[in-house]
A and B are shown apart, each in its own frame.
Chain A
Amino acid sequence: NAGVTQTPKFQVLKTGQSMTLQCAQDMNHNSMYWYRQDPGMGLRLIYYSASEGTTDKGEVPNGYNVSRLNKREFSLRLESAAPSQTSVYFCASSADRNDRPQHFGDGTRLSIL
């Protein structure tokens, strides 16, 4: 039981390049989330998916797209990376009920030059 798995763990991109961050969970959770965490700051929600087939914008969606591929997988895509998107990206999942915790992956450290 791996929980939430993110790939890759580290990535360096050049401005304008595109890339997809992958996330998979094996806890049979319906809800999945993408956050970014900038140095010394808290977690800001980029996108979320309440269930397979649905996605919605969070607090900071600009410059990102997401795909809920199936119940297990939720990917985050940067179409044209910008230096302002240098951050640590965390994926999380939770059960449906709103009194259940979110479980986080280990994060992807993304640097854009």
Chain B
Amino acid sequence: GENVEQHPSTLSVQEGDSAVIKCTYSDSASNYFPWYKQELGKRPQLIIDIRSNVGEKKDQRIAVTLNKTAKHFSLHITETQPEDSAVYFCAASMGNNNAGNMLTFGGGTRLMVKP
């Protein structure tokens, strides 16, 4: 099955700096890669996603890049703000299957933005 590894597990940055979180996946058939943000005590919420036919996608201060050859994808947050502090999860779809959109999640990155 799919295996997703996420690094780093914790990341501390100064407000205004950039943050980068990296994920690798094992199943070359995976073709959908969402990122979720989870604030303390809250549910995971989708912040951005990318499909395999696209190499990069941006949404304001957030961008995701995908390298299918190397089987890795990254989340980039620019001009970080204290409200960006949360746990971020990457995930990969297992490709075509009979289980809707089954996702395999990375272990999470705790991002702390210092004012």
Which chain A residues have a beta carbon within 8 Å of chain B's beta carbons?
29-31, 33, 41-43, 45, 48, 50-51, 56, 90, 94-107
Residue of A nearest to B32 (CB): A99
| B36 proximity list for chain A (CB < 8 A) | 104
Check B44 against A98 for contact (C-beta < 8 Å): no
- A34 and B80 CA atoms in complex are apart in Å by 32
Residue of A nearest to B110 (CB): A40
Check A30 against B42 for contact (C-beta < 8 Å): no
Residue of B nearest to A3 (CB): B43
Residue of A nearest to B6 (CB): A42
Which chain B residues have a beta carbon within 8 Å of chain A's beta carbons?
31-32, 34, 36, 42-46, 49, 51, 89, 93-103, 105-108
| B93 proximity list for chain A (CB < 8 A) | 98-99
Q: Which of A43, A45, A97, A107 has the most CB of B within 10 A?
A: A43
Check A42 against B89 for contact (C-beta < 8 Å): yes
Check B96 against A98 for contact (C-beta < 8 Å): yes
- A75 and B45 CA atoms in complex are apart in Å by 21
| B97 proximity list for chain A (CB < 8 A) | 98
* Known contacts A42-B89, A42-B107, A50 near B44 by CB under 8 Å: no
The one of A41, A43, A51, A101 that contacts B101, using a Cβ cutoff of 8 Å: A101
| A51 proximity list for chain B (CB < 8 A) | 100
